[in-house]
Structure 1
């Protein structure tokens, strides 16, 4: 890590620009990264759960349903700007084997499905998805180059 790295913690949403690198480490949580090349601006959310029954008033990424509006608000993006944004989704792994099948699917799958649905509904183009399986991931977004990287790692036993 260098002085330009901004670590995005669980349930957090952050923006970055210039030489900053947004970075988060994910298991079953899902990371949603937005790139706005025309404004040299990026944002990243680390989402714990798919949805809440109550909408958060403060920027939050605990729920995917709060994360996307929070990202857009922090970036200053209006509905008219959505076509200029590109999205990256990572994480959503199954990090522990359930004792019995989950009735609504595994939490990582639910997080990924919700993120994909909300981005599609918002008219934001998803340019990369790296989700599922049993491996954790680290999502990094270089705000200067507007490039992203997803690194996969195995959990230790």
Structure 2
């Protein structure tokens, strides 16, 4: 998947995103054999997106839910995976809210918690990139870690 993309999948597809400071949010809906993945660049937007989007975490979570057709009464059937949010570049000065990767993962976890969606796996932070893969046919996920190159 590309940066800022949100996508759904079903068997036999594999949804895959390579992440640095961006955060990947995966949703599994085993009862309906659906999965979805968003590759989010930034934590929040001041305005709501008019169409499904993953540029901002605040747009990605509602977009994922809309694309798989989940209503609030079904959120307890969903499982989430959150990966990414690494510090991939050296920063001399921290922003008041922390590093962008940290902001991304905090926002993702907060929005999922607010919706009552159970996060079953997280691999976040640190200085290593990650690749999140969701195998839609088995509803299994894999997070692979790779070191940054200095």
TM-score (norm 1): 0.94
Q: Show the counterpart of 1:146.
A: 139
The answer on 1:16 being equivalent to 2:9 is: yes
Aligned partners of 1:103 and 1:121: how far apart in 2? 24
> Residue 109 of structure 1: which of 102, 105, 120 is its match?
102
Q: Aligned pair count?
A: 150
Q: Show the counterpart of 1:41.
A: 34
RMSD over equivalenced CA pairs, Å: 0.6
Aligned partners of 1:151 and 1:125: how far apart in 2? 21
Find the residue that maps to 1:152 and give its secondary structure. strand
Aligned partners of 2:11 and 2:147: how far apart in 1? 32
Q: Show the counterpart of 1:93.
A: 86
Aligned partners of 1:100 and 1:155: how far apart in 2? 20
Gaps of 5+ in 2: none
Aligned partners of 2:63 and 2:52: how far apart in 1? 5
Q: Show the counterpart of 1:63.
A: 56
Q: Show the counterpart of 1:4.
A: none
Aligned partners of 1:23 and 1:50: how far apart in 2? 20
Aligned partners of 1:58 and 1:12: how far apart in 2? 12
Aligned partners of 1:75 and 1:49: how far apart in 2? 22
Gaps of 5+ in 1: 1-7
